[in-house]
Amino acid sequence: MDNDDKISRLADTADEKEAQSSDIAHEHRALETVYTEDTIDARYLAKAQILNEAMQEIGMGRYQWGLFFVTGFGWFADNLWPVRCVITPPPTVNEFNYNPPFIKLGQNVGLFVGAAIWGVGADFWGRKISFNITMLIIAVFSLAGAGSPNWIALSSFAALWSVGAGGNLPVDSAIFLEFLPASHQFLLTTLSIWWTIGQLVGSLVAWPLIANYSCETTTPGENCPRSSNMGWRYFLIAMGGLMFIFWTLRFFVFTLHESPKYLMGKGRNAKAVEVMHKVAAYNGTMTNLSVSDLDAVDARGGYADPDTDGEKGDTQDAGELRRKPTIFNFDHAKSLFASKKLAYSTTLLILLWALIGLAFPLYNSFVTYYLAKRGAELGDGTVYTAYRNQVILSVTAVPGALFASYMVDRPLLGRRGTLCIATSLTGVFILASTTSRSSNALLGWNCAYSLTSNIMFGTLDTITPELFPTKARGTGNAITATSNRIFGVMAPIIALYADVTSPVPIFIAGAIFLVADLIALLLPFEPRGRASL
């Protein structure tokens, strides 16, 4: 073969590679996003699309699967500690003689504060700080709570460890989603399996400890010394120790990179690209992303993101704004209402979380009392049976995450359809449970409710961060979470003045779920098959 033939062959090969590269680029460019230019800033949209294409090119690999575990710890803790306030009140009431909704009130106040601080803060100081500290807060104050001398101290420690627990979902969902390729965003739903595992582990550990190391008394506050009522303290020590292990794995073992989209939103293009290449290297793949790809977008019209902080950014132009970030800056919140359609979507999400925030604890936080009361009337109200039933409920919840993961990517269902079906069935099963005339019938309805409610929460925890752009995702997650916690605070207040063993709170909770399922259908965006921004 002469030189001319070799040159011709090489040219043909180069043309083929260029064509393949063009096809790949076209495939990546074809990625649909949740928002369009009429709902979000065009230049921010363009840069987010570039990062989405690069993440799709990198693919699902070791780094994302590592994130699946360490962010899963946050889901685990988010359900474990509210369940703790279902599991441990009976023995603590026997020892301290107090009204059990007070500890639930303290917990919900802490969850509200935690969601607001860590969620909003994640948009100002980044995801890493919130991610690395929340689990440590839970560990420290839950271990301290095991030494509580009275119910006031216990409620205070519950509020403090809940400040850490309240920040897990708003922050961890943002972190996981922002490192997922669009083709694997359904895994955010699968992540909720950790939520059900947290409930199950808490129930399994509490069952032998509280059943075997709790005092028996007919008069709360009498004949129940600390020495004969150590079960709930052992439970706090065990779970607090587990949280410390989780924090150690997060902080010392797994290396969390700052979100590339967060960095891009701060004008730090070079750092965002650097992180993308580190993730690609860790996964054993590569990306053609370069700083010039993002800089070229900034150059069009002198783009300057208002969130750019006082640090020297990677891209500069004369119009770039420089100001010190402050937690009282409301620009992130305002951006969630930047257009009519976006404002409509954000408002419905807030309303959804608020309604479920009231209905869920109104029913579930007092399920042990309700089961025990109905069991007592039927001659089966022992502590052993109450906690056995709690374990059964936890087991039936586990498949919910898997069902949700499958359903959210079905063409005829998507996120909205799955959320609507699961929410309505949750309400129906709650209402149906009031017809129970035996402990087994009641347990059966509660198992059905446990399954569908976990499908509901798995879907809601997915669609919420997907419908917020990265630059305001932490704030959006915080707003919805705080609305949930505010109404969650109302539930124990209602319980203080109502008979929690009556079916009335259950009728109210069921009706609220039925209203929420209609709101789910009204959401204007369907994220299925589209890349988040």
Sign of CA dihedral 335, 338, 340, 341: negative
Q: CB neighbours (10 Å) of residue 395?
A: 16
Residues 6+ apart with CB under 8 A from 187: 60, 64, 68, 176, 180, 405
The pLDDT score that the predictor gives to residue 5 is 53
pLDDT class for 389, splitting at 50, 70, 90?
Answer: confident
Residues 6+ apart with CB under 8 A from 470: 48, 174, 178, 259, 261, 262, 264, 265, 532, 533
The pLDDT score that the predictor gives to residue 83 is 67
Please state which architecture CATH assigns to domain 62-258+332-521: Up-down Bundle (1.20)
Could you tell me which residues are beta bridge partners of residue 531?
A: 33
The pLDDT score that the predictor gives to residue 267 is 86
The answer, yes or no, to whether residue 437 has pLDDT greater than 60, is yes
What CA–CA distances, in Å, run from 415 to 33, 126, 482? Answer: 15, 28, 22
Residues 188, 462: contact at Cβ < 8 Å? yes
3-class secondary-structure state, position 40: coil
pLDDT class for 6, splitting at 50, 70, 90?
Answer: very low
Counting residues of the chain whose pLDDT is more than 70, the rounded percentage is: 81
DSSP assignment letter at 2: -
Q: Give the domain ranges of the chain.
A: 62-258+332-521
DSSP assignment letter at 434: G
pLDDT class for 13, splitting at 50, 70, 90?
Answer: very low
> Quick one: which of 349, 307, 340 has its CA closest to 39?
340
Mean pLDDT of the chain: 82
DSSP assignment letter at 380: -
Q: CB neighbours (10 Å) of residue 21?
A: 11
The answer, yes or no, to whether residue 100 has pLDDT greater than 60, is yes
Residues 240-297 pLDDT 10s: 999 999 999 999 999 999 999 999 988 899 999 999 999 999 999 999 999 999 998 8
What mean pLDDT is predicted for residues 384-409? Answer: 86
Burial class (CB in 10 A: 0-12, 13-18, 19+), 333: middle
Q: Which residue has the higher pLDDT, 369 or 511?
A: 511
The pLDDT score that the predictor gives to residue 37 is 63
Q: State both tokens at 328.
A: 């009282």
What CA–CA distances, in Å, run from 473 to 225, 297, 361, 507? Answer: 48, 22, 25, 34
pLDDT class for 11, splitting at 50, 70, 90?
Answer: very low
Q: At 292, which amino acid appears?
A: S
pLDDT class for 365, splitting at 50, 70, 90?
Answer: low
Burial class (CB in 10 A: 0-12, 13-18, 19+), 277: middle
pLDDT class for 3, splitting at 50, 70, 90?
Answer: very low
The answer, yes or no, to whether residue 308 has pLDDT greater than 50, is no
Residues 15-31 pLDDT 10s: 443 443 333 333 334 46
- Report the distance separating Cα 281 and Cα 287, nearest Å: 9
Using the structure block, give the residue that is written with the tokens 């850490």. Answer: 164
φ and ψ at residue 148, rounded to 5 degrees: -60, 130
